[in-house]
């Protein structure tokens, strides 16, 4: 039987370029000293992951345990590809969700979170109790805290803003830069659905939030006043 996880790693190894290591490394902001960088640009990781989108859960877990940043990016990308399937078996969706939580110590960078949390965590919770997000928001791990708010993107797509603002308020005084960036981006997106709720959130928490977060969150309101509703993702 073919070792599909090994095949994926081999495919990434073929693309590795030592000259790309410094460029790729700048995306990894985690504190894990064991994380290694192969030198595969993230844009090249995604097509490889798509070729292996049918990986088993065991293979995905093996990839998440790999020390290489790009391999773990491929793993969360495979999880995302699977979670996006509209006809995905509910048990499989639950298994992906549980795997993400079980291996969260290996999902240890902001972009690994952003790649998988909206569909693997958020979509699973659409019709379920969402208190797990509150527990993650209280975690000592900043990537778990980022997951808590990033996962609410699934709710925002459906016009539901309450969870985004609730989690953002819990995290308002967070000291981690990438948690604050997520607060700014996600409350900004929520404000596009409900500007009054955004104004209320900012009024309640302006003194608790760092100034860059307030500026990022209020950008759609400022743009509208200027006659420009275009916003860019953070």
Helices (H), 20-109: 21-25, 42-51, 57-64, 69-83, 90-102
- Give the mean pLDDT of 116-141: 98
pLDDT score, position 27: 86
Q: Which structural domains are found in the chain, ordered by start?
A: 1-124 (no CATH), 128-234 (1.25.10.90)
- Unique residue bearing structure tokens 């078996």: 89
Take residue 13 and report the two structure tokens written for it. 């190894």
Q: 36: which strand partners?
A: 68
Interval 136-157: pLDDT, tens: 999 999 999 999 999 999 999 9
Interval 14-24: pLDDT, tens: 999 999 999 99
* pLDDT-based confidence at residue 1 (cuts at 50, 70, 90): low
Take residue 45 and report the two structure tokens written for it. 């990781």
pLDDT score, position 32: 77
pLDDT score, position 111: 96
- The answer to whether the beta carbons of residues 65 and 149 sit under 8 Å apart is no
User: What percent of the chain is predicted at pLDDT more than 90?
Assistant: 87
């Amino acid at each position: 039987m073919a070792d599909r996880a090994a095949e994926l790693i081999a495919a990434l190894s073929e693309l590795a370029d030592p000259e790309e290591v410094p460029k790729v490394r700048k995306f990894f902001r985690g504190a894990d000293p064991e994380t290694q960088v192969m030198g595969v640009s993230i844009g090249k990781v995604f097509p490889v992951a798509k070729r292996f989108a049918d990986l088993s859960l065991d293979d995905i877990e093996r990839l998440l345990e790999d020390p290489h940043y790009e391999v773990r990016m491929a793993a969360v990308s495979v999880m995302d590809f699977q979670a996006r399937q509209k006809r995905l078996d509910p048990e499989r969706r639950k298994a992906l969700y549980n795997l993400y939580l079980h291996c969260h110590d290996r999902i240890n960078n902001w972009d690994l979170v952003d790649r998988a949390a909206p569909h693997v965590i958020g979509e699973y919770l659409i019709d379920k109790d969402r208190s797990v997000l509150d527990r993650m928001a209280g975690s000592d791990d900043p990537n778990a805290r980022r997951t808590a708010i990033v996962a609410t993107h699934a709710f925002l797509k459906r016009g539901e803003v309450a969870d985004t603002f609730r989690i953002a308020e819990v995290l308002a005084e967070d000291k981690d830069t990438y948690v604050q960036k997520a607060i700014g981006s996600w409350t900004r997106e929520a404000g596009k659905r409900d500007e009054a709720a955004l104004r209320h959130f900012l009024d309640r928490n302006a003194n608790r939030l760092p100034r860059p977060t307030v500026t990022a969150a209020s950008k759609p309101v400022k743009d509208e006043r200027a006659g420009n509703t275009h916003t860019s993702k953070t």
